[in-house]
Amino acid sequence: MDTIEKLRKKIDIIDHKLIELLDSRMKYAYKIGECKGKNDSPIHVNDREKEIFDSLKKIDANHITENELLHLFKEIIKLGRKHGEQGKTDQNKSN
């Protein structure tokens, strides 16, 4: 039987992996922003967000509700948009 300490260590490992994945996601959001800076495209694209949210609704998670996933990803997307804006700004400065 797992102890609370062992379970917490497992959570710590998962948290570390989540941070690595989120950091990678922000890197790609930044790079997309750079591409959008070259094309002078808007960062926020409603259709893309809808696509993401629609795909989340298809995920069958046992321990997290659809509403919880949507709430979580609204924040992740908001943060990604910020990194995309920075990439676009940096790209425009270099031109």
Cα first-last separation, the chain: 60
Contacts of 7 (CB under 8 A, 6+ apart): none
Predicted confidence at residue 68, as pLDDT, reads 95
Segment 63-87 shows an average pLDDT of: 96
Domain ranges across the chain: 45-88
Predicted confidence at residue 44, as pLDDT, reads 95
User: Is 90 exceeded by the pLDDT of residue 95?
Assistant: no
Considering the entire predicted model, what is its pTM?
0.90
Predicted confidence at residue 1, as pLDDT, reads 79
pLDDT tens-digit series, residues 5-57: 999 999 999 999 999 999 999 999 999 999 999 999 999 999 999 999 999 99
